[in-house]
Structure 1
Amino acid sequence: MKKVLIINSSARITNSQSRAMTALFQENWQRLYPTDHFIFRDLGINPIPHIDDAWIKASFTKVSDRNAENQAPLALSNKLVRELKEADIIVFGLPMYNWGVPSGVKSYMDQIMRINETWKFESGEPDGNYVGLLSGKKAYILSARGDNGYGCGERNEHMNFQSKYVETIFRIIGIGEIETISLDSEEYGGELFQKGKERITAMIKAIK
């Protein structure tokens, strides 16, 4: 039995394309693997707080100096990191807001980027070589975007601070197997968008 962590991040509760994509993934996965266990994290409905001075001090406290009091600010971060460590499959529903990620996603990433917990420097000292500590997992990034042309080699690739950002973070923490599926052209609507939805639906249903 595998554990599947589904993370939604859209501020929309209804009419969210990224939420529809994660729901379709869940439906398809449950059909294929009915004994697998799902864990849910919703960054849109339950926002993750920004890190602050107390968090930073706690995070960089030497292991030998840690106690219950000075580690209290990391309680939520510890829970989020534990969810990632326990998950075999990570599914991230990700809308594009102003060419980037929702602000709650940035807060989430700050909370899980924990040195010597999810990543480390190769030499043990700042050396620019990052080693991920969360290996053996696969991630699916299910992105939704109003416009199009943000893919590799496309005209707006340089403006994609959405899926590329999450892909980069995941690779740094050791998740090397990543599949990104993007539904574009929501703002256009009509036949263009419908054809995109049909293509994306078929891609998600083909995941095994």
Structure 2
Amino acid sequence: MRTILVINASPNHNNSYSRLLTEHFVDRCKQHNPNDIFIFRELGNVNIPHVNQHWVKAAFTPENLRSCEDKQALSFSDELVKELQDADVIVIASPMHNLSVPSTLKAYIDQVIRMGVTTSLVPGTLGSPYVGRLANKKAYLFLVRGGYGFGSGEIYEHMDFQEPYLKAVLQMLGVTDITSVTMNYTTMQEALRQDSYSQAQAQIDALTPPEK
């Protein structure tokens, strides 16, 4: 039995291919292991608070010295962090917005990167000064782009600040087992869009084989 945290970042409920990919993934997981527990975190259509001065003060105050105001400032962050800590599998579904991720997903990331809680700063560590505290978790990225050419070796690879950013953030949290599924052409010709969608579904099918 696994606890699977599904994070949807698209502001669209209808006509959202990233949501269709998470739905397909969830359906396949339920077929393969009906005992899986799913937690859904909606980001696309809710107000995710931005980190402010009160949050920063509270986050860098030792837990035993936090005031009631400090605890209130971190209450939503604590909720999000616990979801991540409890999850065995983390699924992030995100469209590409202006070469990167939607602002709500960025705000979520700012809420869950907590020094001494989800990551630690260890200067001089090979590869990264951050040592994550959420190890032994599997992550899936379901990434959707309106155009094309952002993949490895493709013409616009240098403009992709979506996949590299999310992978770096997950690694900062200690999650290194990351699999990406991408879909392109969502704002282009129907034939191209549907072909890319079918390919993404097939990749998910390969990740979640049917129950034998």
What do residues 123-147 of structure 1 show as CA deviations (whole Å, max 9, x unaligned)? 69xxx62101000100100011011
- AA aligned to 1:190 is E
> Are residue 207 (structure 1) and residue 211 (structure 2) matched?
no
Distance 2:199 2:106 in 1: 29
Indicate conservation of the 8 Å contact 1:150/1:156, yes or no.
yes
> Are residue 48 (structure 1) and residue 57 (structure 2) matched?
no
**CA 1:159–1:31 in 2, change beyond 3 Å: closer, same or farther?**
same
TM-score by length of structure 1 reads 0.94
RMSD (Å) for aligned C-alpha atoms: 1.5
- How far apart are 1:166 and its partner, in Å? 1.0
- Equivalent residue, structure 1, for 2:115: 115
TM-score by length of structure 2 reads 0.92
- Equivalent residue, structure 2, for 1:19: 19
- AA aligned to 1:151 is G
Indicate conservation of the 8 Å contact 2:123/2:130, yes or no.
no
Distance 1:11 1:57 in 2: 31
Distance 2:11 2:51 in 1: 20
Indicate conservation of the 8 Å contact 1:4/1:91, yes or no.
yes
Structure 1 unaligned regions, length at least 5: none
What secondary structure is seen at the aligned counterpart in 1 of 2:56?
Answer: helix
Indicate conservation of the 8 Å contact 1:132/1:171, yes or no.
yes
Indicate conservation of the 8 Å contact 2:119/2:173, yes or no.
yes
- Equivalent residue, structure 1, for 2:33: 33
Q: Summarize the alignment of residues 56-75 of structure 1 with structure 2, pairs less than 5 Å apart.
A: 56-75=56-75
What secondary structure is seen at the aligned counterpart in 1 of 2:120?
Answer: strand
What secondary structure is seen at the aligned counterpart in 2 of 1:18?
Answer: helix
- How far apart are 1:67 and its partner, in Å? 3.6
- AA aligned to 2:10 is S
What secondary structure is seen at the aligned counterpart in 1 of 2:54?
Answer: helix
Structure 2 unaligned regions, length at least 5: none
- AA aligned to 1:144 is V
Further displaced range: 67-76 or 25-34: 67-76
Q: Percent identity?
A: 39
- How far apart are 1:121 and its partner, in Å? 1.6
- AA aligned to 1:158 is H
Indicate conservation of the 8 Å contact 1:170/1:176, yes or no.
yes
- Equivalent residue, structure 1, for 2:162: 162
